[in-house]
Amino acid sequence: MSGRGSGISWLRASRSRRWGLVGSELTMADVPLGPFAGSLITVYSAKSKAAKLHGSRQCRQLRTSDVMTAKVSLDEAVLRRLCTRCAARGAGGRPGTGLGMFLLAIGETGLLCHLQSYREPDEDECWTDHEARGAAELLRVQQRLDGLDGEDEEDDASLRKAREEAENLRGLIFSHWCGARGSLLEAEALLTYFPWVEEWAKPSLRIKARYLETLRAQAARFVDREELVVAAAAMALPMPELPCADPAFAVLGGSRVSSALVRLWRRWQSTAARIWEGPGARAYLSCEIVRGIRSSQKGRGAARAEAARLIESWEELARAAAAPLDRVPKRRLTGHVPHASAGTPRHVVTDFLDGLDEWTLGVLVTWAVQPEWGSGVLTLEVPDLVAERLLGPASGLPCSPADWTADSPKHEGRTGSEPGRLRPGVFDDTPVFDRCPVTLDHIRALRTLAPTADPLHLVFSASGGAEVLPLSTLERRLTKGWLGVLIAGASDLPASLIGPEEPERNHDSEVRATQLPGRGQDVHDPHFGESLGLAEGRHRTLRQTYGTEARQLNLRLLALARGAHDLRSLDAGRPSGLPTEVWHGLLTEDRLNLAPFRKPGSNRRGSGSALPLGPLAAVQLYTTNANPLIEGKGHSPLCRHAQHSAAVVRGDDLLAVADLMARTDSDWCSKCGGYALRRLTDTQLSYYRAAHRLHDIKEQLDNQTGGPDADPSGVIACLDELATWQPVDDAEWCSSDSWQWQETVRELTRMAARSHAVTRPS
């Protein structure tokens, strides 16, 4: 290995290499655009003919204040003029649209990057095949030497250095093999969505596959296949009877002998998976057993020697179990590696192999069958013992017998009309009139290719009309044959409706003032009850959300969610559900004061006015448990005491305020009050205020014991105004409710007139 840098520097370089480009430079303009050719994109540029085009107005390369905006149809010429920074970021296709996903997937961190990396060793960190062979041989010899009693202090420095370098090279080759494999798989997975790019990409893929095979063969040289089988046998052995009564171990201290031997056995078994250390390291474990015993103590040496003999007997058991017949690879397995066309985020796929243990990596480089092009499936042909280990619960790589899995992702994705293929017209990049039905593959593509998929979509089907659904519900329905189109995701909603995303500062202080003790209580204050309303919900969401982008998304989610009839239908499971801030915008833990609607004559202070609940009857409340027969208090879905935190879930109970009024048996949590209210619509809030004003007037008139405390003509004017209350939207004001309301107003007006006569005798 003369004339080379130290192994350490190879390793340092290996990480950054993933993005290093080798060979001919491919650019976005070279990629066939297929059905996306001619799609309209918005570009920004300076006002000169040759100026670069930018996909984003905020691009740092756009150094002018005089920016031209244009909608252009996508073609090679446009892509050639695109600034490289914007090209890498998806060229300005809106994320979550078909076009946006396509441009991002082929862009300079996607397909183009993969096609140009891991094609051949590059100049900065290459090694020759001869060097790789030498390093493997050196490590093999060293492993054997470790087994011979290795307290040899004469270990000379140059040998140690050579060994270190060989180990570094081994690490480098394995890490390149993992990277090359991940990169090839991801390139293939991306192509399943864009099949028209396949022919164009094939030559590059062939080069990548060839280099991957070179790396695999080099990596395999560091692995002794016999040892892999023996290690599998060792890991599978049941614990043999341990010689606890052996007098040689008495020095360990009578009662501790058996636990020390069990520990030794476990260490020995787990060390088997660390194949870089080899059988030598296992033999060396005999030192472990006498650790902590003074070297002068009598019997120490004998105990160690006995432990070494014991370990040797275990090694023999393992070797016997790995009888030569078992070393022939004859079982075919399929390894379940994360696959990008199954809706897995892209980084999970490429980094998967990095997390595997040495033994499993050794098995992969030794027995992986040359993959079929584009299959994306990992097939292994392994000896029985290895198969059992891989199929067992302790396997680092979940596997199944190969003949079961006829339904590989390849077969799903590539038959007939290629349902997985992305084209314009599924997501929001064409008029609604041209929308195509969405399929499960489209949703998977969205999950894989969009940096973040909108958690809620407005969808339309002929069977169910327009609905707001979480992605996971949509997926479930699609597996059952649901036919519909996506109208818009949350981020597709027009900015003109969503409004500014900055919280209004002075509004906050205004609201807070009405919530001060005393002030918010005044039912005649125009802000009375404001904390229950929709506007306050929006403020809550904004106040709790940080970052402009998150605010814009949350406001859109809030707007979409408000159209859901039953909020439980928005439950999408924990990680993908709505953010807590949005739930606070939808729900409030403040309480309605229902006194105006209660029957009069209850003995509590401030008896009821028996006003109709009117539009408030339907106000929803969500609780974790409304059934007194089911054990456990009811909690607000936002209560920290509830098991799931801060979201309405499918299993919650839904009541209406009318139900709440009718019951006395509920068992509510004392911290949260037991439920959260769905925020009041404008009509509901307006009615709530009107009812409280009416109730307040009634109380005043009922309680007039002494002198007058209100101006009677003012009271009558107020009643006149309340008589005209109407829903603020065009909803019907139910006739019996309306009659009851008018009746109460008339009654109070008579009382006011009478008290006027009494207090002001003329």
CA atoms within 13 A on the CB side of 164: 12
Residue 84 is a binding residue for Zn ion (CB under 5 A): no
Q: Cβ 328 to Zn ion, closest distance in Å?
A: 58
Closest CA to 738 of 724, 751, 728, 749: 724
Q: Cβ 492 to Zn ion, closest distance in Å?
A: 23
Please name the residues in contact with 31: beta carbons below 8 A apart, sequence gap of 6 or more.
Answer: 106, 111, 112, 197, 200
Q: Cβ 526 to Zn ion, closest distance in Å?
A: 8
Residue 216 is a binding residue for Zn ion (CB under 5 A): no
Q: Decide whether 94 or 331 has the Cβ nearer to Zn ion.
A: 94
List strands edge to edge, sheet with 456-461. Answer: 465-470, 456-461, 485-489
Residue 4 is a binding residue for Zn ion (CB under 5 A): no
Q: Decide whether 206 or 641 has the Cβ nearer to Zn ion.
A: 641
309 token code pair:
């003999």
User: Tokens 């052995």 label which residue?
Assistant: 237
Q: Cβ 632 to Zn ion, closest distance in Å?
A: 10
- What is the rounded distance in angstroms from the CA atom of residue 726 to the CA atom of residue 710? 26
Closest CA to 69 of 85, 89, 88, 92: 92
Q: Would you give the binding string for Zn ion spanning residues 506-545, x where CB under 5 A is met?
A: ----------------------------------------
- By CB under 5 A, which span of 383-391, 577-585, 633-641, 706-714 interacts with Zn ion? 633-641
Q: Cβ 653 to Zn ion, closest distance in Å?
A: 14
Q: Please, which of residues 663-682 interact with Zn ion by CB under 5 A?
A: 669, 671-672
- What is the rounded distance in angstroms from the CA atom of residue 177 to the CA atom of residue 497? 51
- Measure Cα distances from 317 to 223, 232, 320, 387, 532 in Å: 22, 12, 5, 19, 74
Q: Cβ 642 to Zn ion, closest distance in Å?
A: 6
Contact between 326 and 383 under an 8 Å Cβ cutoff? The reply is yes
Q: Cβ 56 to Zn ion, closest distance in Å?
A: 6
Q: Decide whether 347 or 641 has the Cβ nearer to Zn ion.
A: 641
- By CB under 5 A, which span of 257-265, 468-476, 629-637, 689-697 interacts with Zn ion? 629-637
Residue 83 is a binding residue for Zn ion (CB under 5 A): yes
Q: Cβ 402 to Zn ion, closest distance in Å?
A: 48
Q: Cβ 59 to Zn ion, closest distance in Å?
A: 3
- Selected from 54, 304, 389, 457, the binder of Zn ion by CB under 5 A is 54
Q: Decide whether 26 or 672 has the Cβ nearer to Zn ion.
A: 672
For the chain, the distance separating the N- and C-terminal CA atoms, rounded to the nearest angstrom, is 119
Q: Cβ 583 to Zn ion, closest distance in Å?
A: 15
Q: Decide whether 371 or 585 has the Cβ nearer to Zn ion.
A: 585
Residue 635 is a binding residue for Zn ion (CB under 5 A): yes
Q: Please, which of residues 60-79 interact with Zn ion by CB under 5 A?
A: 61
Closest CA to 337 of 411, 272, 390: 390
CA atoms within 13 A on the CB side of 482: 21
- Selected from 524, 574, 591, 641, the binder of Zn ion by CB under 5 A is 641
Q: Decide whether 41 or 349 has the Cβ nearer to Zn ion.
A: 41
Q: How many CB atoms lie within 10 A of CB 263?
A: 14
284 token code pair:
């060396």
Residue 59 is a binding residue for Zn ion (CB under 5 A): yes
What secondary structure does DSSP assign to 281-326, as a single string? Answer: HHHHTHHHHTTTS-TTSTTHHHHHHHHHHHHHHHHHHHHHHT-GGG
Q: Please, which of residues 86-125 interact with Zn ion by CB under 5 A?
A: 86
Residue 639 is a binding residue for Zn ion (CB under 5 A): yes
416 token code pair:
């007939």
# chain residues binding Zn ion, by CB under 5 A: 12
H-state helical runs in 599-662: 657-662
Q: Decide whether 309 or 671 has the Cβ nearer to Zn ion.
A: 671
Residue 450 is a binding residue for Zn ion (CB under 5 A): no
Contact between 225 and 366 under an 8 Å Cβ cutoff? The reply is yes
- By CB under 5 A, which span of 84-92, 197-205, 550-558, 682-690 interacts with Zn ion? 84-92
Q: Decide whether 92 or 596 has the Cβ nearer to Zn ion.
A: 92
| Residues near Zn ion, by CB under 5 A | 54, 59, 61, 83, 85-86, 635, 639, 641, 669, 671-672
